[in-house]
Structure 1
Amino acid sequence: MTTIISRATWGAKGWNGTPASVPLSQRTEFFVHYDGGAHITRTGYAIMRAIEAEHLGNGWSGVGYNFVVDQAGNAYEGRGWNLQGAHCPGHNVTGLAVQIAIGGDQKPSAKALATARALYEDACKKTGRTLAKKGHRDGYATACPGAQLYVWVKAGMPAGDYVPAPNPGGSLPSDGSELSRAQATISGLVYGYGAKGDHVTKVGQALVKKGFGKHYTSGPGPTWTDADTKNYQDYQESLGYSGAAADGVPGETSLKKLLGTLPGKVSAKPVPPFPGAAKFGPGKNNASITLLGQQLVRKGYGRHYSSGPGPKWSDADRKNVRAFQLAHASLEGDADGIPGPQTWKLLFS
Structure 2
Amino acid sequence: MKVHYLGAPYASRAHSLCDDMVRSIRAEHLANVKENYVDIAYTALVCEHGSVFEGRGTHRRTGANGSQALNEQDYAVCALLGSKGMTVPTDAMLNGLVDAIEWLRRSGDAGNWVGGHRDGYATACPGDQLYAWVEQGAKRPAGVKTPTPPPGIYVVRAQDTIAAIARRLNVSWQELAVVNGIKAPYTIYPEQQLHVPGKPVLEIPPFPGEDAFVIGRRHPAVVELDACLIAKGFTRNHDGNGYQKGPLFTEYTRRNVADFQRATAELRSDPDGYPGPLTWKLLHS
TM superposition score normalised by structure 2: 0.47
TM superposition score normalised by structure 1: 0.39
